């Protein structure tokens, strides 16, 4: 049974029993606690936390959620049951059925006949676990379902009790296991061997509230939930293993084709007894799928956050392929293969295929350069270690290669082995653990931010805000809530910073890249200045305001006024963003899709997925198409319709955004621009005014950013540019259209003059120091030039001089040490001839000796090193110390 059919049977089973089907949310949600959605219940978290009341039909839902867990990327492939990306199928009940319902639903699907829509698993091979004292669940399994007592096992809190890791909903769970047979391990059920007995489904009976605690079981139950909920999770990939008769998740129809492609590309063999190679094949398969799905949801490689995770995944693919023997690019093959296997389950892949390939292939090219620089750094470190007679690469240097150069540790270990070195893995692991601890501490701190939204649940459920601001800038409303310093209050007075909740408002709350409105809340002499508006649960508007005059009570009737100039500028910028998006797609193609935006009065920035820098001609064409749309005065229409109809119209949606059943479509010029958008817009394109594109830049691998002005800000910018061009034309006595050529000519002449001056400077410098070789003194068996040169000679020039002297003294066992001061700082350079290096002298060691006296540091190769210091007064003593050091050699 193919994976897409397993998914389909799960959904059909629960829809037929009255559950509302909920599409998978994006891997990227607006949740400060998560980089990626990591569990099937995450999109339902507001309901379990009590922040919102679910409005699903019959109070039940079902979904197959795409998930990513990346806590221990380095462990991927070592076991054969865990993936970074996985599909979690679940059914959810909010105060409806409880333990018996959840157990019955699961058993019926698992053991139901294939011809009846079930999975057809042998009930005699199913085992279950329950929480230690959950006699109710055990009784249901035994008496209602008929599972023999000996196949029901009880486990403790670590295994059979669920919570989110923070104070909130929790409860015991019951897990279903499948006995794969004696060839997979010993008898005795899940307690005895969780490899033979594979967990496939977890049923969580959410009924309690837990308190604070650091570890999974280190907390107390502080109360009961007002209603009992069900949250289950079935692993699609694990069920696929069983129904396809394969040993592990890497052998299923989704991942095995990638391994086969890797075998063909690398020439290595899979499953032939080489455990290291098997892990590499599995890493390629796992990371190719995870990377592809993350790119699908709009992430591009970068050096932080989600982009950093994606970069690590893609680079581990490339590194694994190289260690297996690949010498040519591999990413295009792997990505095409995994997209072929995943498209039946995720049809949206087909529309994004070219973009996914573009991002992944670009990262492969970039990493090839990183490998070159990292290899150079490794070679330097390895040579220095072997020259010193040591045989271990310090863990700190291995971590630097990993963290700074993006060099994977196992590649470092492999190269060290080839160089005859070991790696201090204890020190490396310690550095890695420090980094993980910092990340976990930061994540833990972020988790607690999520709890505050429960403060607003009453209003979200019972009094959501009515937004009337699309066609009104002023409206009366009633104050239904006041929050000050995180607490509900009944009144506020002059000087208070407060969140005002109204039943009706014309003010736009920040969303979709558009900044919130500014304005005032008025009642008689009372004035509140509103400087921000935010939403809670997409239903409640929080007006963040300062009481400028008077006071305000709950129940007061007020007038809310939007700053008209602010709204006008914001509408111009937001509509201009839509035009630029459409223009970008015309010029660059359909793969250049939105990755983020910011709109505020007079200014916009637009991020989009594209790997290459735009040419001046492309940027000019985008600006021209945008302003042609303004000049055409396209009508701007808004349409409320269903999500399916909007997609049929060709409306574009944002990555990571969850849309309801009814959506708002903004159409500018008919087919010119059609997007799902809840923002405010002009009525006609001409109201945007001129759009001045300022330029484009990179915001990470595979992502670009265009910035622009709109309206009067654009006019002011263009006027200044025109005045500047006129001034330059007058100064250069050239027509404005000839300015680029004239400036290019002047720049070239200036560069040539600077180069000539630099050459003259170098020649004069070398001439003035030509007799330094003749001033060399004999120290022991060595020759030494150790001088403080006149002030103003920088480190680069000192390097030139010591290198020249080294050449003149190349036949001698000579050491050259020169210093100077620039702006009160010390610059220094050291060179050693080949005979000196062979006698054991290293320029870097000399830099360290001198550095102790000038409060400096530096480094380099054995024959050439440089550094800097902060104490010029220490130079004489430092040079004397160098003489003493050399004399003792």
Binding residues: 574, 578, 677, 681
The secondary structure of the chain in percent helix, strand, coil, rounded to multiples of 5, reads 45, 25, 30
Residue 790's Cβ-count burial label (10 Å; 0-12, 13-18, 19+) is exposed
Binding residues for Zn(2+): 574, 578, 677, 681
CATH number for the domain formed by residue range(s) 567-723: 3.30.980.10
* Length of the chain, in residues: 889
Tokens of 404: 């700074």
Q: What is the pLDDT of residue 448?
A: 39
Distance CA 314, CA 700 (A): 14
CA distances from 324 to 258, 329, 330, 433 (A): 14, 13, 12, 28
Beta-sheet pairing, 152-155 with 126-131: parallel
> In this structure, are residues 367 and 316 in contact, taking their beta carbons and an 8 Å threshold?
no
Q: Which long-range contacts (CB under 8 A, 24 or more apart) does 216-224 make?
A: 216/157, 216/158, 216/161, 216/163, 216/165, 217/156, 217/157, 217/158, 217/161, 219/163, 219/167, 221/170, 222/167
| H helices present in 733-794, as ranges | 739-768
Q: How does pLDDT run across 182-231, given as a tens digit for each residue?
A: 999 999 999 999 889 999 999 999 999 888 876 566 788 888 888 899 99
Phi, psi of 833 (to 5 degrees): -70, 170
Q: Write down the architecture of domain 772-887 according to CATH.
A: Roll (3.10)
Protein fold of 3-247: BirA Bifunctional Protein; domain 2 (3.30.930)
Tokens of 199: 């967990």
Tokens of 889: 């050699």
Protein fold of 453-561: Elongation Factor Tu (Ef-tu); domain 3 (2.40.30)
Beta-sheet pairing, 60-68 with 20-22: parallel
pTM for the model stands at 0.66
> In this structure, are residues 810 and 777 in contact, taking their beta carbons and an 8 Å threshold?
no
Give the start-to-end residue ranges of the domains of the chain. Answer: 3-247, 256-423, 453-561, 567-723, 772-887
Residue segments in the chain with a per-residue pLDDT below the cut of 50: 443-451, 656
Q: What is the pLDDT of residue 438?
A: 65
Q: What is the pLDDT of residue 74?
A: 72
């Amino acid at each position: 049974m193919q994976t897409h059919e397993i998914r389909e049977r799960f959904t059909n089973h629960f829809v037929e029993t009255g559950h509302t089907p909920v599409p998978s949310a994006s891997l990227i949600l607006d949740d400060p606690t998560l980089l990626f959605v990591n569990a099937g219940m995450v999109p339902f978290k507001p309901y379990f936390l009590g922040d919102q009341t679910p409005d699903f039909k019959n109070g039940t839902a079902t979904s197959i959620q795409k998930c990513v867990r990346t806590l221990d990327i380095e462990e991927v492939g070592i076991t054969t049951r865990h993936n970074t990306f996985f599909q979690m199928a679940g059914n959810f009940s909010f105060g409806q059925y409880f333990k018996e319902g959840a157990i019955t639903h699961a058993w019926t699907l698992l053991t139901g006949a294939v011809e009846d829509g079930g999975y057809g698993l042998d009930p005699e091979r199913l085992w279950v676990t329950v929480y230690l004292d959950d006699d109710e669940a055990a009784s249901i399994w035994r008496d209602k379902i008929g599972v023999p007592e000996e196949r029901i096992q009880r486990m403790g809190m670590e295994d059979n009790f669920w919570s989110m890791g923070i104070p909130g909903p929790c409860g015991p769970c019951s897990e279903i296991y499948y006995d794969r047979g004696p060839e997979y391990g010993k008898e005795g059920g899940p307690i005895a061997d969780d490899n033979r007995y594979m967990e496939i489904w977890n049923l969580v009976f959410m009924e309690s509230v837990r308190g604070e605690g650091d570890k999974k079981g280190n907390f107390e139950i502080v109360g009961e939930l007002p209603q009992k909920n069900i949250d289950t999770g079935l692993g699609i990939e694990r069920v696929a293993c069983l129904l396809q008769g394969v040993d592990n998740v890497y052998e299923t129809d989704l991942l095995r084709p990638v391994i086969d492609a890797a075998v063909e590309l690398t020439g290595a063999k899979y499953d032939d007894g080489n455990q290291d190679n098997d892990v590499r094949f599995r890493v390629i398969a796992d990371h190719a799928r995870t990377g592809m799905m993350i790119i699908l949801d709009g992430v591009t490689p970068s050096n932080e956050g989600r982009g950093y995770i994606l970069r690590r995944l893609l680079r581990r693919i490339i590194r694994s392929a190289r260690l297996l023997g690949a010498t040519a690019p591999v990413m295009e093959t792997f990505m095409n293969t995994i997209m072929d296997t995943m498209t039946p389950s995720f049809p949206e892949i087909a529309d994004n295929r070219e973009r996914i390939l573009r991002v992944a292939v670009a990262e492969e090219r970039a990493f090839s350069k990183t490998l070159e620089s990292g290899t150079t750094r490794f070679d330097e470190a390895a040579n220095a270690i072997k020259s010193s007679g040591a045989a271990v690469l310090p863990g700190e240097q291995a971590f630097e290669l990993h963290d700074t150069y993006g060099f994977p540790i196992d590649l470092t270990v492999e190269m060290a082995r080839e160089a005859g070195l070991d790696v201090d893995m204890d020190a490396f692991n310690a550095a890695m653990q420090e980094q993980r601890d910092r990340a976990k501490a930061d994540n833990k701190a972020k988790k607690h931010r999520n709890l505050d939204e429960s403060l607003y649940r009453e209003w979200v459920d019972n009094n959501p805000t009515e937004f009337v601001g699309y066609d009104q800038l002023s409206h009366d409303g009633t104050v239904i809530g006041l929050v000050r310093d995180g607490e509900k209050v009944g009144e506020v007075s002059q000087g208070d910073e407060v969140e005002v909740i109204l039943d009706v408002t014309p003010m736009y709350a920040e969303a979709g890249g558009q900044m919130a409105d500014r304005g005032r809340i008025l009642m008689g002499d009372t004035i509140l200045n509103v400087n921000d508006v935010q939403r809670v649960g997409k239903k409640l508007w929080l007006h963040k305001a300062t009481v400028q005059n008077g006071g305000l009570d709950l129940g007061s009737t007020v007038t809310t006024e939007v700053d008209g100039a602010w709204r006008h500028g914001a509408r111009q910028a937001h509509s201009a963003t839509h035009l630029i998006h459409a223009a970008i797609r015309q010029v660059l193609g359909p793969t250049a899709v939105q990755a983020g935006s910011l709109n505020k009065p007079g200014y916009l920035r637009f991020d989009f997925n594209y790997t290459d820098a735009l040419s001046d001609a492309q940027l000019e064409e985008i600006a021209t198409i945008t302003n042609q749309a303004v000049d055409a005065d396209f009508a701007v229409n808004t349409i409320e319709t269903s999500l399916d109809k909007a997609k049929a119209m060709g409306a574009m949606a944002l990555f990571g955004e969850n849309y309801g059943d009814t959506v708002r479509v903004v159409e500018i010029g008919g087919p010119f621009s059609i997007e799902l958008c809840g923002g405010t817009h002009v009525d006609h394109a001409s109201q945007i005014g001129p759009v001045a594109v300022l330029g484009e830049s990179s915001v990470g691998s595979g992502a670009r950013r265009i910035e622009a002005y709109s309206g009067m800000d654009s006019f002011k910018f263009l006027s200044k540019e025109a005045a500047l061009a006129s001034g330059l034309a007058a100064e250069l006595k050239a027509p404005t259209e000839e300015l680029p050529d004239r400036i290019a000519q002047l720049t070239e002449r200036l560069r040539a003059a600077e180069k000539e001056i630099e050459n003259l400077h170098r020649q004069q410098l070398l001439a003035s120091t030509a007799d330094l070789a003749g001033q060399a003194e004999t120290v022991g068996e060595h020759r030494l030039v150790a001088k403080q040169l006149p002030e103003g000679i920088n480190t680069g020039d000192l390097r030139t001089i010591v290198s020249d002297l080294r050449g003149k003294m190349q036949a001698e066992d000579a050491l050259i040490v020169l210093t100077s001061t620039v702006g009160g700082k010390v610059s220094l350079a050291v060179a050693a001839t080949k005979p000196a290096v062979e006698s054991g002298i290293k320029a870097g060691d000399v830099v360290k000796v001198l550095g102790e006296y000038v409060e400096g540091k530096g480094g380099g190769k054995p024959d050439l090193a440089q550094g800097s210091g902060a104490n010029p007064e220490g130079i004489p003593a430092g040079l004397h110390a160098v003489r003493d050091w050399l004399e003792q050699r």
